[in-house]
Amino acid sequence: MKLMKSDASPFVRKVVVTLHETGLLPEVTLIDVATTPLAPDSALIAANPMGKIPALLRDSGPTLYDSRVICRYLDDRAGTALYPQDRLWDTLTLEATADGIMEAAVLITYEMRFRPADMVFQDWIDGQWGKIARALDALETRWLSHLHGPLDMGQIAVGCALGYLDLRHDVRGWRTGHEGLADWYAGYAQRESMQATAPA
């Protein structure tokens, strides 16, 4: 298998962490792709018509894209139960919450990076951060017990989302008011899979 990736993407990191946690990393060739919404990579478009990373090219069958699809596939292939049946809906909802944080945070990054400075829409940026802030509140008030449970995809996704906030939006200080979540992340970030995938 081949994974088309960019190390700064939190969605890619989620997949690569999953490769570490499932033991499937040796089976996958990692291919770095230089792509942006304004200049998508032609090989990536051939693999994923949306032009988004990650994309997993399989030896047989169509390319898989969207990190949730790829992670579910890898977990099923490895039999690691990162989507445990006894708490499946909680795990999926937690993963969706984390992915929502990633999506909003990436959109803020794109707004500031690709739009001319005199056209940056601050109200729109604030709206995206509002989504992140509400999701962080939900993690702090509703999900800490789940985060402290056995490893699953919800925890992996949250860890990657928080890591991306540190990478691109640390100035906003997401830990303030989310001390329980910050404490959890301090420990989770020490996992070997997180250390191995930390963006340079």
**Domain of residue 126, CATH code:** 1.20.1050.10
Q: What percent of the chain has pLDDT over 90?
A: 88
**Cα gap 200→197, rounded to integer Å:** 9
Residue finishing a domain among 34, 63, 78: 78
Same domain, 95 and 154: yes
Same domain, 20 and 99: no
Residue 127 has pLDDT above 80, yes or no: yes
Which domain range does residue 68 map to? 2-78
For the segment 7-52, what is each residue's pLDDT rounded down to a tens digit?
899 999 999 999 999 999 999 999 999 888 888 888 899 999 999 9
Same domain, 73 and 90: no
For the segment 25-37, what is each residue's pLDDT rounded down to a tens digit?
999 999 999 888 8
Q: What percent of the chain has pLDDT over 70?
A: 100
Q: Would you say residue 150 lies in a domain?
A: yes
Same domain, 125 and 177: yes
**Cα gap 164→102, rounded to integer Å:** 7
Helix or strand (DSSP H, E) at 31 = strand 29-32
Q: What is the pLDDT of residue 36?
A: 81
- Residue 43: which CATH number? 3.40.30.10
Residues whose CB is less than 8 angstroms from the CB of residue 110 and which lie 6 or more positions away in sequence, other chains included:
37
Same domain, 156 and 96: yes
Identify the bridge partners of residue 56 per DSSP, sorted by sequence position: 3, 64
Same domain, 116 and 74: no
